[in-house]
Structure 1
């Protein structure tokens, strides 16, 4: 029996499909009950039919498992839709350029909407069903203009799905000290307002963001993610095994193995029990 006051959260591993090592690590944690969600990156060359089938089999055995679309709009990945622009050497633009263009309203919302529809179609083709939710690689789903396109497509094509917002529930003093988190909080305020107006469901709070460049101790950070987190919230993580494919596509490498080690350890379920948090 679940103790009174226990909160159920969504612990989501991003980037399924970015490389074979990442996908293998995520499936291992799901099978052991250490994750209850993962978002798949259909633009990644390594998200093959075989990788999708392996994850789908897990979902059949674990009804609580949610599989989402990790909507991708930044380099070094390439679009799925025909005629997408702007591009740089046939790839999406870098993150900073994409965010800057969104902030000054220089993006084409219809092209973004078409790219989302194309990524949804690719997801459906590989998995055999539509995603349970949508989030964004490098949080693009909460950027101005991009969020409008995503919410419109979801309202029309995915009425039962939810979308990730990245606003935190931590005390104000803690939020101010985290510049990256503060930006996500700020962008998420407008995102939540738009989502509510359009009738698209979203998570009540978010955690899991940290400075990847500061040599962090993930095991020490994780308990802080759970502080003040309401039921139904999303905690983001990036477990994985480092391989050559990952090294060519993403700067986040060794930290993925640290996250995997903690989430797979005996200390992790004990921490959840201590904080009265469950994934099931």
Structure 2
């Protein structure tokens, strides 16, 4: 069986610097796919940057924690604070979110994506891995089915590398148990998804290790390249790591490893 590889960058559209870095990682490196955050006022400008990247797969990065909703805030009250913007605290969001409101907001985000890009996204995934929570996984799958999006990201229990969580912390076992449930939901949905997904921060040695671990079938490597600037610092806690990942993705050693391993670079639309 062929070894096919999707290298996806989350967060296109978060800032101009993140979007430029993603396009650089595609033009000069091994990046094949990205997912677009469309709920920001500058989304139209970011969509225009995609015009010259005809070989880049573009999916939709469903968002509930950064910026403001596409829908009027009074239509999604469980998703927003008093300022009408998304609740940034993840645990606070999960305690109060009404899945039906998330589904409505994500439907609006998909419709905005189509209006901006002129086609359906290659796939759906979620900002800050919100699809790990079963009610939001169901909402994501419902949106995909309603609009005819054929593929989604899958988060298997081993998606994060060993050492991501301290041994004493219950977070790792709890998350793995939840991911077994949501991964099974996706496998039973009839939608296409990679055979495995590898996520977590990396440098060049870490990226090379992920390439070595891409087995038979399709593998997705989740990445977050970006340019670090004040705009990014205001919107994201993931900052300097983005420059590290950009350097790794564009390193000649990454391309050489892909070729030596015989990996076929694809995007979600090729599944």
User: Normalising to structure 1: TM-score of the pair?
Assistant: 0.82
Query: Are the aligned partners of 2:13 and 2:46 in contact in 1 as well (CA < 8 Å)?
Result: yes
Count of matched residue pairs: 255
RMSD: 2.3
Q: Point out where structure 1 has 5 or more consecutive residues left out of the alignment.
A: 211-216
Within the alignment, does 1:92 sit opposite 2:83 as a pair? Answer: no
* CA–CA distance in structure 2, aligned partners of residues 187 and 175 of structure 1: 16
> Are the structure 2 counterparts of residues 234 and 168 from structure 1 closer, same or farther at C-alpha, using a change threshold of 3 Å?
farther
2:14 to 12, 18, 25: 18
Superposition map of 1:1-280 within 5 A: 7-47=3-43, 49-59=44-54, 62=55, 65-74=56-65, 76-82=66-72, 83-86=75-78, 87-88=80-81, 89-93=83-87, 94-99=89-94, 101=95, 107-158=97-148, 160-167=149-156, 177-179=163-165, 184-210=175-201, 218-230=203-215, 231-280=217-266
Q: CA deviation at 1:226?
A: 3.1
- Render the CA deviation track for 1:182-210: whole Å, top value 9, x for unaligned: 65543332112222333222221111214
Q: CA deviation at 1:77?
A: 1.8
Secondary structure, counterpart of 1:13 in structure 2: strand
Query: Are the aligned partners of 1:176 and 1:182 in contact in 2 as well (CA < 8 Å)?
Result: no
- Render the CA deviation track for 1:64-85: whole Å, top value 9, x for unaligned: x3101000011x4211123112
* CA–CA distance in structure 2, aligned partners of residues 238 and 38 of structure 1: 10
Secondary structure, counterpart of 2:8 in structure 1: strand
* CA–CA distance in structure 2, aligned partners of residues 67 and 78 of structure 1: 22
Between 1 and 2, higher relative CO (CA 8 Å, sep ≥ 6) is seen in 2
Consecutive aligned runs of 4 or more in structure 1 exceeding 6 Å deviation: none
> Are the structure 2 counterparts of residues 175 and 19 from structure 1 closer, same or farther at C-alpha, using a change threshold of 3 Å?
closer
* CA–CA distance in structure 1, aligned partners of residues 164 and 126 of structure 2: 20
Secondary structure, counterpart of 2:124 in structure 1: strand
Q: CA deviation at 1:229?
A: 2.9
User: Normalising to structure 2: TM-score of the pair?
Assistant: 0.85
Secondary structure, counterpart of 1:131 in structure 2: coil
Which residue number in structure 2 is paired with residue 213 of structure 1?
A: none
Q: CA deviation at 1:266?
A: 1.4
